[in-house]
A and B are shown apart, each in its own frame.
Chain A
């Protein structure tokens, strides 16, 4: 397994269109996160899954945003009726709940390469 993969890497769309991003986490990782990053800023938390359960959603995630992880493996992030303000890099990260070494839970995050969205 080579890490977290995201698709597509780049998406250009017109305002009002729907877009969907896919994230495939590292295979044994049961936690999956979505973040959004704009130029010059750090990533902002959007939502988090543990297995198939969506446990937390940011207030940044308006009604136009929806995320799923139906089988606890890959996840999709859909943006409906895109707006120019949605233009950003959408980052997916995964982590494993339990690490064997030392018996502790490290909570280390591993990120994908991101999906850059441009809304015209």
Chain B
């Protein structure tokens, strides 16, 4: 059974710092991994999608890596800003198909202090 864990559950850092959010999963047979951002009371906004054959994806100040063999993904945020404050969720699509089930972690609640 695929389980997705995000540690820590909450993180507070001063503005300007680089930071890393962690996501671990128990079954390496994944189709892809997607990072989302969620603001309070809102839906999820897709940040980055990494296919199983890829090692990393970058978008602006964000970089996501994937290591299937160790069951880990990291989301790196450079030069953090107060506007980055949100909950960050990772989601793993199981198996070998774009139709297979997606399992979410519980998220890391990030707070950037001005």
Seen from chain A, the residues whose Cβ lies within 8 Å of a Cβ on chain B are 4, 6, 31, 33, 35, 40-45, 48, 50, 55-56, 91, 93, 95, 97, 104-114, 116
Q: How far is the CA of A4 from the CA of B93 in the complex (A)?
A: 20
| Interchain CB contact under 8 A, A95 and B42 | no
Least Cβ–Cβ distance between B8 and chain A, in angstroms: 13
Ordered by A's residue number, 10 sampled pairs between the chains whose C-beta atoms are within 8 Å are A42-B106, A43-B89, A104-B51, A106-B32, A106-B49, A106-B51, A110-B46, A111-B43, A111-B44, A113-B42
Closest-by-CB residue of B relative to A55 is: B99
Question: Is B43's CB under 8 angstroms from A107's CB?
Answer: no
Majority secondary structure of chain B interface residues (helix, strand, loop or mixed):
strand
Asked if residues B102 and A56 are in contact (CB atoms below 8 Å), the reply is no
B81–chain A nearest beta-carbon distance, Å: 23
Report the separation of the CA atoms of residues A7 and B98 in the bound assembly, to the nearest whole angstrom.
27
B76 within 8 A of A: no
Residue ranges of B at the interface with A (Cβ–Cβ < 8 Å): 4, 31-32, 34, 36, 41-46, 49, 51, 89, 91, 93, 97-99, 101-107
- Name the distance in Å between B56's Cβ and chain A's nearest Cβ: 16
Count of CB-CB pairs between chains A and B under 8 Å: 68
Q: How far is the CA of A91 from the CA of B49 in the complex (A)?
A: 19
Contact B101 A56 (CB under 8 A): yes
Q: Say which residue of B44, B46, B93, B103 sits within 8 Å of A91 (CB atoms).
A: B44
Known: A107-B93, A107-B99. A43 touches B42 (CB 8 A): no
In whole angstroms, what is the CA distance A56 to B34 when docked? Answer: 21
A47 to chain B, nearest CB (A): 11
Q: What's the nearest-Cβ distance from chain B to residue A120, in Å?
A: 19
Q: How far is the CA of A95 from the CA of B49 in the complex (A)?
A: 13
Residues on B with beta carbons closer than 8 Å to the beta carbon of A111: 36, 43-46
With A42-B107, A45-B102, A104-B51 as given contacts, are A114 and B43 in contact (CB-CB < 8 Å)?
yes
Cα A48 to Cα B93 with chains together (Å): 13
A40–B106 touching, CB < 8 Å: yes
With contacts A106-B32, A107-B31, A108-B34 taken as known, whether A45 is within 8 angstroms of B101 at the C-beta atoms is yes
